[in-house]
Chain A
Amino acid sequence: MKLLIKTTLYYVIASLLFFIAAGFIIVYDFNNILDQEINNLLINSEEIVTTQIVNDIPLESLNNYEQVIEKTNSKAFLDKPCFKDTTRYDIIDDNFHKYRMLRVTRRIGNNYYDISIFRSLIQPNTLVKQVLLSLFSVFLGLLAFLIVSNLLISRKVWLPFKETLRTLNNYELGSTSPILLNKTSTQEFNQLNDIILAMTAKIKYDYINLKEFTENVAHEIQTPLAIIRRRCEKLLQQNDLNNDQTKSIMAIYNNCLRLSKVNKGLTLLTKIESGAYQVEKNVNLTQILISQIAHFQEMISLKNLTLNQEVKHEILHDINPELVVVLFSNFIKNAINHNNAGGHIEISTKAGEIGFYNTAKNGPINPELFQRFKKSESNSLGLGLSIITKICRLHNIKLSYEYVNDTHKFRLLF
């Protein structure tokens, strides 16, 4: 969820809770005030009635729908005003309505009068409703204002952050252009940018160091290897070598070659990992595949393997062309080397898919083989599949492997 939506949502929920609580408090307070007001009104009316009785105004003219006065003998309510909520039948709209009544007994002269005053609660209730309604609309307006202002303010405030994100997203560790983060007026973002700058500088420094180190190691190993190789070749030129000597020299020579190849493979892996191979847009994989198949055609026929190729679909992908060559040659080499005598190789393309299938002798590949230096036979280097895996992983190519009917099935999905 986007930060802006998230904060707004929390904002709305918090505001709603607050508004509900505020609504309850306001209604409660308002009711209290109205009650007080009505009670005062009732007391007032009662005082007027009492005064009127004292002034000998006949009871008949005082009695009406809202006040009932009658002589009584009971002294239960004598000078003890009592408030009560009640419902009364209203003849006008044929309905019961809420009323508040005050009942009190007064002694005037020698007579006791039971005075009941009624006040309808319809008006106060509609008033509360009205107030609530207007309050609600004010709240609603406030909420809308809050949301909009929050969106606008957040958008503005978080702008530098978004810019930082965008810059980081476009940043490539291997690239020479430094990371550029603008100063902002927000302290925290400045702090964040400073930390990012310091961190990337450190990472870049380590990365360059590591890169230089691997390059140096590879370089330093290459010259001695060249010398060993040359000296072996020189020894082999002599005519008077006996069998044992030849064997020993050939062993040194072959292991030297092997070391060179391991070195090359590892250097290649490091280079792929470090992103030294620049990605090019829309590389035509089909063309490269066709030329690689042609390159290995001879080896395939010399090994008495049959090749079935169905390479027609044009597949374009963003990748480095040299790595594509490495990728395809590794697949084809594996298909040749790990095949049985008189076996079969099939290379086919579909839309967004390249498949390499070959008959096999030793059952399915152990998943561990996809890692470095795991190998099935002693004469291979054990780097091929890890190079394949690495290239695929770094270039958004899905690599699938199955073993069906004594056949290795590698599929590249784009």
Chain B
Amino acid sequence: MKLLIIEDESELLEDLMDFFKKDHFLCESATTVAEAQEKIYMYNYDAIILDIGLPDGSGLEVLKSLRTVDNNAGVLILSAYDAIEDKVSGLNLGADDYLAKPFDYNELNARIKSIIRRKHFKGSNMVVFDTISINTDSQEVHINQKLIDLTQKEYQLLIFFISNENRVITKESIVEHLWGDNTDSFDSFDFIYTHIKNLRKKIIKSGDKDYLKTVYGIGYKFQKE
């Protein structure tokens, strides 16, 4: 998977590159509108992470040029939280998703993967993890070829975990993923226990494998044994 990260903040760029490289993406970077335009004219990417505030202009200009070259790359816009206008105009210009800074990396990762699935695997949107296979179109989950029945939240959790396999995920990340910005109460962690408990039970029951590890004091980790 080829990923272009357009971000002018060097530390953030470094973090993003570092994060996605670990997830086996081929990452390239651009720090200005000009550089980004040059790259999208020359290469094809599966996905692009686009920061709106760039030193020589708005990231939306990159989006416009991208549409002129008929590039099939999925675009996720990163922008300051307060700029709703960016969100609206970005999505109007054909961006696929939008995330406000400061964002959660696991969330970003899950969304990028979802964009890639939608854009590049039309018809066979299968996510496979060891014995688990998920059809993201029909939202059907099979473990060892057996169909298992998950609630909406459990399904969202499973996709989120698989998108971020082998990574410690904090409870805060999970809460934010499941309930979005609407949770500023930190005692909402109680809520996720129920979901995680049920999801784990269902996975163990149908596959005899426990992929979900509790990391004491931090959160959870989804990995092959």
Contacts and interface: CB of A to CB of B under 8 A. Distances in A.
B121 interface: no
Contacts of A303: 190-191
A215 B168 contact: no
A267 interface: yes
A329 B182 contact: yes
B102 A225 contact: yes
Interface in B81-125: 81-84, 100-106
Contact of B80 (A218, A329, A337): A218
Interface residues of A, number: 50
Interface stretch (A246-254, A279-287, A343-351, A399-407): A246-254
B19 A230 contact: yes
B194 interface: yes
A227 to B, nearest CB: 5
B81 A227 contact: no
B35 interface: no
B207 interface: no
A379 B102 contact: no
Interface stretch (A98-106, A139-147, A183-191, A257-265): A257-265
Interface string B173-199: 000000101111111101100100000
A264 B101 contact: no
B103 A261 contact: no
Interface in A224-262: 225-227, 229-231, 233-234, 236-237, 243, 246-247, 250, 253-254, 256-257, 260-261
A276 interface: yes
Interface stretch (A8-16, A67-75, A130-138, A294-302): A294-302
B26 interface: no
B182 A250 contact: no
A277 B84 CA distance: 9
A271 interface: yes
Chief secondary structure at chain A's binding surface = helix
A231 B16 CA distance: 11
A257 B80 contact: no
Nearest to B190: A302
A237 B168 contact: yes
Contact of A226 (B101, B179, B188): B101
B182 A219 contact: no
Interface string A291-314: 000011011001100000000000
Given A236-B218, A299-B191, A276 B84 contact: yes
Interface string A307-345: 000000000000000100000010001001100000000
A223 interface: yes
Interface string A26-63: 00000000000000000000000000000000000000
A298 B157 CA distance: 15
- Chain A CB count within 10 A is highest, among B80, B100, B194, B216, for B80
Contact of B82 (A215, A231, A381): A215
B68 to A, nearest CB: 28
A58 B172 CA distance: 138
B149 interface: no
A250 B80 contact: no
A223 B101 contact: yes
A299 B12 contact: no
B143 to A, nearest CB: 24
A337 B101 contact: no
B137 interface: no
Contacts of B53: 219
B56 interface: no
A243 B217 CA distance: 8
A192 to B, nearest CB: 35
Contact of B103 (A226, A231, A250, A381): A226
B83 A215 contact: yes
B50 to A, nearest CB: 15
B182 A227 contact: no
Interface of B: 9, 11-12, 15, 18-19, 53, 80-84, 100-106, 153, 167-168, 170, 172, 179, 181-188, 190-191, 194, 215-219
7 contacts: A222-B80, A226-B101, A227-B15, A233-B168, A236-B215, A257-B172, A296-B182
Closest CB pairs A-B (n = 6) = A226-B102, A222-B101, A225-B102, A219-B80, A267-B82, A230-B15
Interface of A: 214-215, 218-219, 222-223, 225-227, 229-231, 233-234, 236-237, 243, 246-247, 250, 253-254, 256-257, 260-261, 263-265, 267-268, 270-271, 276-277, 295-296, 298-299, 302-303, 322, 329, 333, 336-337, 379-381, 384
Given A223-B102, A226-B103, A230-B105, 5 more contacts: A219-B53, A236-B215, A276-B84, A302-B191, A379-B187
